[in-house]
Structure 1
Amino acid sequence: MISDIGVLAENSKGRAFPEAPDEVRTCFQRDIDRITYSKSFRRLKHKTQVFLQPEGDHYRTRLTHTLEVTRIARTISRALMLNEDLTEAIGLGHDLGHTPFGHAGERALCEIYTCGFRHYEQSLRVVDRLEKSGKGLNLCFETRMGILNHTKGAPDDSAEAIAVRLADRIAYINHDVDDAIRAGILTAADIPKEVRARIGERHSTRIDAIIRDVIEASREGEVRMSDDMAQAVELFHDFLFEKVYRNPTAKGEEAKVSKILGAIWDYYLKNPDKLPPDYRSIADTEGVPRAVCDYVSGMSDDYAVYTFSNIYIPAAWQVK
């Protein structure tokens, strides 16, 4: 049973390339499967969320962030009787276009690539153009628009897309502070008193409080946070921005990111014949800078470091 503000699978605006219906899965379930089985989804496990190359197994990656966003969004969707499958598809696909090294990598590519780089636009390009050797995943219109607009939103967003956008913020402000506490950058007592009083003292309590607020505030038909919760969340975000996202200890390695990605960019810009075949095809049809941007932005942290080393660091050798 889907509420009046939810999207019925049978009412989807469809795919760019029409396909026969599946006998078992709805169109949005098929989108979930296509994203989950994609190469770009698997690469998220080696992409930074906030902390670059942390020593420890328990820090979030872009993949675990994606999974947390999706779980929160599905909880909201179930409570509001939205389409959980569409919500999950958007949640799983929303960060597929993220660069290596998190937002530091995004800033680096934005400076290098003259057309500008925005991860939400690249996420759509991944599912439309880059996956499956250039064929794309041929996702439903509603999934694609939810992915594209997950950061800034759009006037005609579906309720499911709004649920994911709210879940994205709920997830990252809470797990980023959790990771910062684990790293010794913050203590729980550093969180502003106003935030702790309104949202809670513990990680799980805060997530639960915000989710419940969204559910209650959305009962009248608009998916949203209450005004006072939105103010508390904004205060929490501002605190994180100052104490974590700009923290010199946590972010001290980020200056190296632009050098690594810039050097890789320069190499392939001058040597497009060294690009993998799929990206050489893009270079032929859309230009070398576009192809290099697609290739570099799709790299994991580890692969970017490997590529830089392979290009610029002399290989070890010995006389036999």
Structure 2
Amino acid sequence: MTIREQQEQLELQILSPYACPNAGHAKRERPEMPCPYRTAFQRDRDRILHCNSFRRLKRKTQVFLSPVGDHYRTRLTHTLEVAQIARTISRALRFNEDLTEAIALGHDLGHSPFGHSGEAILNRICPHGYRHYEQSLRVVERLEKGGAGLNLTEEVRDGILCHTNRIAATKEGNVVRVADRIAYMNHDIEDAIRAEILRKEDLPTDVTEVLGDTKTKRITTLVGAVVAHGPEKIGMAPEIQAMHDKLHTFLFDRVYYNPIAKQEEHKAELLIETLYRYFISHPDALPEEYQRIAQQEDIDRAACDYISGMSDGYAVDLYTELFIPKGWRSSASPIS
């Protein structure tokens, strides 16, 4: 047997009956020759890790727009934290770690620049609507590899689509959905404290008493609650879930809707809408691959695809290039 076949047989021996093994699953829209070394879910993970959209996550906002400082989260660091938490849960429940990791690494590939404010403005102005989890699926199916997509397995694509508010077809996909929230709630607290819009003592006392008063303790408690709940239905005990939900509501009230955190968002929304209107009126200004999308689908879809794939910095630079006047200087004039 090949190394891949040995791994597939080992999965059948060690994974939980609730897990999704490669054998009997992992179908692709376009059939491919199997790899002799890697299972299908391992190949999906590697394809996501090496794609252009994944690299752009390092310059996309998580909560604070283009923060000054090395330690604030970006979409990339958020994605890595989600993958770590999800793998911990999957390992404890004997789920398929490779499938879990592939979904986690791909779950935010379709996020727009400037975080959820960018998502909101694109959803408002694009007639197709815009939701980052649907765009993440579109990225891996339609946009990557010059329009060929990554040809990922059904289970990975389903997990990416369902990571926000839907029940996935696999336990691994549902683990990523829970891990995503565990990750962003706890790292957003840390970033908000660093940004001085929240103090540690502001957190609800009953929440910290149950979940813990540090990021490490809270993540450990929440991960442990998911594991203790068992593999049959991904969730937490009611008392832990109640504190989890209370913390989530607290963060919306005190961080996500905080005027200080949101003070630059109207500028980001103006920037995105201006770029969108420009490309709608000037389709020839789109890169060639997006001009093809405009011809095959429509210009709104093409403009939305192009802008949503931009990093924060690229969007700012492009806006500056198109709309901010440059100082004039004769080429014959000496620099003084």
Shared fold by TM > 0.5?
yes
Q: Secondary structure at the match of 1:133?
A: helix
Matched residues, percent identical? 52
Of structures 1 and 2, the larger Rg is shown by 2
| Corresponding residue of 2:220 | 208
Q: 1:94: which partner in 2?
A: 107
**SS of residue in 1 equivalent to 2:95:** coil
Alpha-carbon distance in structure 1 between the residues aligned to 2:328 and 2:236: 60
**CA distance in 2 between partners of 1:214 and 1:22 (Å):** 34
- Check conservation: 1:282, 1:290, Cα contact below 8 A: yes
The CA distance in 1 between the partners of 2:169 and 2:206, in whole Å, is 31
| Per-residue CA distance 1:134-159 (angstroms, 9 max, x = gap) | 000000000000000101123x5210
Name stretches of at least 5 consecutive residues in structure 2 with no aligned partner: 1-13
Aligned 8 A contact 1:108 1:257 in 2: no
* Number of the residue aligned with 1:276: 287
Residue 5 of structure 2 is matched in structure 1 by none
**CA drift at 1:166:** 0.3
Tell me if the contact between 2:26 and 2:41 (Cα under 8 Å) persists in the aligned partners. no
- 1:228 Cα offset (Å): 1.2
- Across the aligned residues of Structure 1 and Structure 2, the Cα RMSD in angstroms comes to 0.8
1:262 is paired with a residue of what secondary structure?
helix
Correspondence 1:300 to 2:311:
yes
One-letter amino acid of the structure 2 residue matched with residue 163 of structure 1: V
CA distance in 1, matches of 2:288, 2:86: 37
Structure 1 residue 14: deviation in Å? 0.3
SS in 2 for 1:259: helix
Mapped partners of 1:227, 1:113: distance in 2: 39
TM-score (norm 1): 0.98
Unaligned segments of structure 1, at least 5 residues: none
Of the three residues 194, 208, 212, the one matched with 1:182 is: 194
Could you tell me how far apart the structure 2 residues matched to 1:14 and 1:316 are?
Answer: 56
Number of residue-to-residue matches in the alignment: 318
Q: Deviations over 1:213-262 (max 9, x none)?
A: 1100125x222111111110110011000000111011110011111001
- Aligned-partner Cα distance in 2 for 1:267–1:313: 14
Regions of 4+ moved over 6 Å:
none
The one-letter code of the counterpart of 2:174 is I
Which residues in structure 2 correspond to 1:1-320 (within 5 Å)? 1-154=14-167, 157-219=169-231, 221-319=232-330, 320=332
Q: Distance in 2 between matches of 1:3 and 1:102?
A: 36
1 CA distance for matches of 2:22 and 2:41? 7
- TM-score between the two structures when normalised by the length of structure 2: 0.93
